[in-house]
Structure formats: C-alpha cells, structure tokens
C-alpha cells in the first residue's frame, strides 16, 4: 500500500521584553493541531534573540509532537487495539 501526503507547518514567533512565545500550527488536510512554547530571558543575561527563538520553538515543537503521539494512540484504540505501552528512552517516558 503506497501512501503520500503533504502537511503544512507554520511557526510564528513573538518576542517582547525578554519573553519569546512560539505557536506552531500543523495542518494535515484533515486535522489541525497547535503547539505552544515559551522562553524567558534572565534580565542579567546578554540579549541574544536567537537563543530565545530556539528554546521557545523547540518547546512548541515538542508540544506538537506530544499531541501527534496522543492522536495516534487514540486512533489505534479506535481501531480496537490496545493503547501502546509507554515508551522510555534513557529512563524518561516519551
């Protein structure tokens, strides 16, 4: 069974007074999910916007990934299969 698809991802960054907020929007054509992430700069730290962007974007993408895994697990259960066991990497659950 062959399958191809294309999903659209939009990542929006907002920075104000040392706080960076990111919203990442995923559109699969049938589902839309939104991940969010925030990074706060310590006022004593040097202002390097790229670092806040990277942290907030990484956190937003991590949030989105968690939502995708949860959606897949619900779909698996909807097919009558049991929910997969919690996966662990280096002792931390995924």
Q: At 87, give phi and psi (nearest 5°).
A: -85, 145
| Predicted local confidence at residue 77, as pLDDT | 87
| Predicted local confidence at residue 85, as pLDDT | 67
What is the signed CA dihedral for 20, 25, 26, 29, rounded to 10 degrees?
-170
- Does residue 45 contact residue 55 with C-beta atoms inside 8 Å? no
| Predicted local confidence at residue 79, as pLDDT | 86
Structural domains in the chain, CATH included, are: 8-77 (3.30.160.240)
DSSP-H helix ranges across 22-94? 49-78
Segment-wise mean pLDDT, segments of 10 residues, the chain, 94 residues: 95 94 97 97 91 96 96 88 63 56
| Predicted local confidence at residue 27, as pLDDT | 98
Residues constituting the chain: 94
| Predicted local confidence at residue 34, as pLDDT | 98
């Amino acid at each position: 069974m062959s399958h191809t698809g294309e999903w659209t991802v939009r990542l929006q960054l907002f920075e104000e007074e040392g706080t960076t907020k990111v919203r990442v929007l995923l559109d699969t054509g049938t589902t839309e999910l939104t991940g969010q992430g925030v990074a706060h700069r310590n006022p004593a730290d040097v202002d390097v916007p790229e670092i806040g962007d990277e942290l907030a974007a990484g956190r937003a993408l991590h949030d989105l990934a968690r939502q995708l895994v949860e959606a897949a697990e619900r779909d698996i259960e909807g097919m009558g299969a049991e929910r997969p066991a919690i996966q662990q990497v280096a002792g931390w659950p995924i």
